[in-house]
Copies of this chain bind each other. A is one copy, B any other.
Amino acid sequence: MTGRRQEIRERNRLSLIEAVLDSVAEKGISETSVSEIIHRAELSRGMIHLHFGGKDNLVDEAARYSSEQYYNGIYALLETTGQTGQEHIEMIVRGDLSEAILNKKNVSIWYAFRGEARNRAAIAAFSDTRDAKLRNLVFNAFARIAKEAKVDDPNQVARDATHGTLAMLEGMWTDYLLHPDSFDRNEATRIVFRFLSSMFPAHFDLDGALSLE
């Protein structure tokens, strides 16, 4: 049956991508050689070129896959909660700082790819895409909040809130990158909500934010 073959093919492709991500997380991009990848995937040397046409394409695909996984994770969280703006924002902030998403592996991978983004168009593109998709989700939520809050220039306020929130989350990831073991998720969350509650006191609550887990 052809389906069986196709299925193995697909599984092999995925194994290679995951081997790249594991290796990038553990050893970094520069140590992620073809030998390292096939050893982790337990597949043959030629397979990389068979499926991806070369190591660089495989690494690009891995960056795309990883960026998609991140976005899907966040998006899945949004489906589990209410549809108000503040529920969305809360979910995104908590999700982005949760163990499931903000962990050693993801952070390693993400900063490794970022470091290469300047010199590899494909990686820059996926880096950008992840960013743009998330930015959109966050902006839409803040736009609703700003409208409810009847602020002067709701569009501008929503933009600033988006910018500030994402900047802070980024900063928290960097904190985690540098000190994964002393990083305090509650503190990080609290600080983001401090910013949010200062911008939208009627929507966000500093104390409530502490009721994390």
Q: Which residues of A contact B (CB under 8 A)?
A: 27-31, 108, 111-120, 124, 127-128, 131, 160, 163-164, 166-172, 174-175, 177-178, 187-188, 190-192, 194-195, 198-199
Residues of B within 8 A of A171 (CB): 166-171
Contact (Cβ within 8 A) A191 B178 = no
A-B pairs with lowest CB-CB distance, top 4: A115-B115, A167-B171, A198-B198, A170-B171
Report the Cα distance A168→B114, complex, angstroms. Answer: 18
Report the Cα distance A199→B28, complex, angstroms. Answer: 39
Residues of B within 8 A of A168 (CB): 164, 167-168, 171
Report the Cα distance A120→B111, complex, angstroms. Answer: 14
Specify which of B28, B164, B167 is in contact with A118 (CB 8 Å cutoff): B28
Specify the chain B residue showing the minimal Cβ separation from A107: B118
Q: List 26 A-B contacts (CB under 8 A).
A: A28-B115, A28-B116, A29-B115, A30-B119, A108-B118, A111-B114, A111-B118, A112-B118, A113-B115, A114-B177, A115-B115, A117-B177, A117-B178, A127-B178, A128-B178, A160-B187, A163-B187, A163-B188, A164-B191, A167-B167, A167-B174, A168-B171, A170-B171, A171-B171, A194-B199, A195-B195
